[in-house]
Chains A and B, each alone.
Chain A
Amino acid sequence: MLFYILGIWILPDIFKAYPTIIIVAVMVIGLSILASIIVYLIIFFGRVRASYIDLKTTKARKLISDKLNHYLFFMESVGNVTRDDLRRVAKELNKITVLKFKSRLVRQLLIDQLVYFKKNFTAQTSIALSKLYQNLGLKEFSFNKLHTNSWEVKAQGIAELREMAPIMSATEILPYTNSSNDDLRVEAQAAYMWLNTADPFSFLNNTSEILVEWHQIILFDMITKNEEIIIPSFNKWLNSSNSSIIVFCIKLIIYYKQRNAIPSLIQLLDHSDINVQNRAINALGKLEAVSAGPIMIAHYSTFSKSCKLEVLKALRRINRKTSIKFLRAEFLKIDNFYIAKCAMYSVVAISGYTRAQLLADLPEINAEQKAIINHCFDKLINI
């Protein structure tokens, strides 16, 4: 109907003589051709624009790279550069970035190159890059990104500040360490740890969002890469209301062998989250917390199956002969194959018995239990 009215309206004299179906068909064809032409024009101009930007970007990138090379060479060869020298060189670079191109794109290109160089070069080069970043006012440019609505831009700004800016940026980044956006949050947390080496984990006090496994890997990588980071006692976050933070801290307690955390870890045996309980038991074993052995045995019946298995492994690591009686009893219960197997492994590891001694000591075991003992003495199997 619309095409019919359109046809009559555009060309009344011609179309009046034809049937409706013809008018509609001609109009549909005409409009399709028109739409195709418009789409092709949009694509064409889009590509021309993209090529122009590419050309401009390549040109700017080359120019910036050359100027940066000269600048870095000048900074390093002169040695004690005066503030005037620095201003002169910065002014020259500023001319390219602000006056010549007057573009955010070029300024961004300069930051990208500075960040690239900062990541790839140390010593004098690194210092010179930081000075330049400050003197060109690029720090403000990165800071402004923190106030945009787009999380990608915010994350980009944080990444730039982490690489280029001094410690004072850490406080600006702190609010984003609890952002609901995963990517922004992890970028901010990593940056905060990198910049605030004196108290790198203080953001954990306010983090209510989950610290997922891959965030933990990124943060761990950050901790191990930055030698200036002061490692705190992770004990203090074990009573956090955020289970993922507790798990992360338990992992770090194990890594840094913080045995002072043992009493707090013992308290976590009563935690409502099974994952936290599991991790705490694992940590107590790895820290060889002798005092935790009898407590874990006392709690044993209240634990889930996975926690029970973890207790049996932990007792093996703690390696006290006083646990053998309990482990032996768990093996003899045989209500669960995995528990019996794990218990026997621990008995073998702690007692140092031979296979013959064990079989003599446990005369009334069934065929399955015998098979478990044989399995535990098989040197080709390593659990």
Chain B
Amino acid sequence: MMLEKILIVEDEPLMLNFLDFRLTKSGYDIRIAKDGREAEEYIDNEPFSIIIIDLMIPFVSGLELLAKKKETAYNKNTPVLIISSYTQKSIIAEAYSLGADDFIPKPIDIEDLITKVKILLNKCKIAV
């Protein structure tokens, strides 16, 4: 059986390592990007079931990445889960307007994150 492929875009190595480990344990195929440029390359060349983006990443910001994603061939409809320690309403609203599907503020409840990933994946399957 093909595993659902998830892209995690996060610049903090510890956070990245932890999310990678936990989502792999939950049965997903994980790709990791440490900055916006790496993430751009991934979303241009591979389809993902879901993308998890931290808003504050180097080179290309999370919001720019969201805008860019819409123009890609493989991932224009891929759901996006935003994680960020920035909880200003304006930033969250902008993320939603650019196509984010859900938002999780830091500090994160990992169980909550895994549940949201499952919900988004189920929504996608129903839509298809």
Judging by beta carbons under 8 Å apart, are A120 and B111 in contact?
no
Q: Provide 25 A-B residue pairs closer than 8 Å at the C-beta atoms, listed in order of the A residue.
A: A65-B17, A65-B18, A66-B17, A66-B21, A69-B18, A70-B21, A72-B18, A73-B25, A76-B111, A113-B14, A116-B14, A117-B14, A119-B107, A120-B14, A120-B15, A120-B106, A120-B108, A121-B107, A121-B110, A122-B107, A122-B108, A123-B109, A123-B110, A123-B111, A125-B110
- Chain A's nearest CB lies how many Å from the CB of B109? 4
Contacts of A123 in B (CB 8 A): 109-112
Task: Scan A113-145; emit 1 where CB is below 8 A from any B CB, else 0.
Answer: 100110111111110000000000000000000
Instruction: Find the B residue at minimum CB distance from A70.
Output: B21
B: which residues have CB within 8 A of A?
12-15, 17-18, 21-22, 25, 106-112
Q: Other than the known A66-B17, A121-B109, what 10 A-B pairs have Cβ atoms closer than 8 Å?
A: A65-B13, A69-B18, A69-B21, A73-B22, A76-B110, A120-B107, A120-B108, A122-B107, A124-B111, A125-B109
Task: Scan A223-249; emit 1 where CB is below 8 A from any B CB, else 0.
Answer: 000000000000000000000000000
- Chain B's nearest CB lies how many Å from the CB of A62? 8
- Chain B's nearest CB lies how many Å from the CB of A68? 8
Q: How many A-B residue pairs have CB under 8 A?
A: 46
Contacts of B106 in A (CB 8 A): 120
Give A73 to B109 CA distance when docked, in angstroms: 13
Judging by beta carbons under 8 Å apart, are B109 and A122 in contact?
yes
- Chain A's nearest CB lies how many Å from the CB of B19? 10
- Chain B's nearest CB lies how many Å from the CB of A317? 28
Contacts of A76 in B (CB 8 A): 110-111
Contacts of B109 in A (CB 8 A): 121-125
Contacts of B21 in A (CB 8 A): 66, 69-70, 73
When A73-B21, A73-B22, A73-B25 are in contact, do A65 and B107 touch as well, CB less than 8 Å? Answer: no
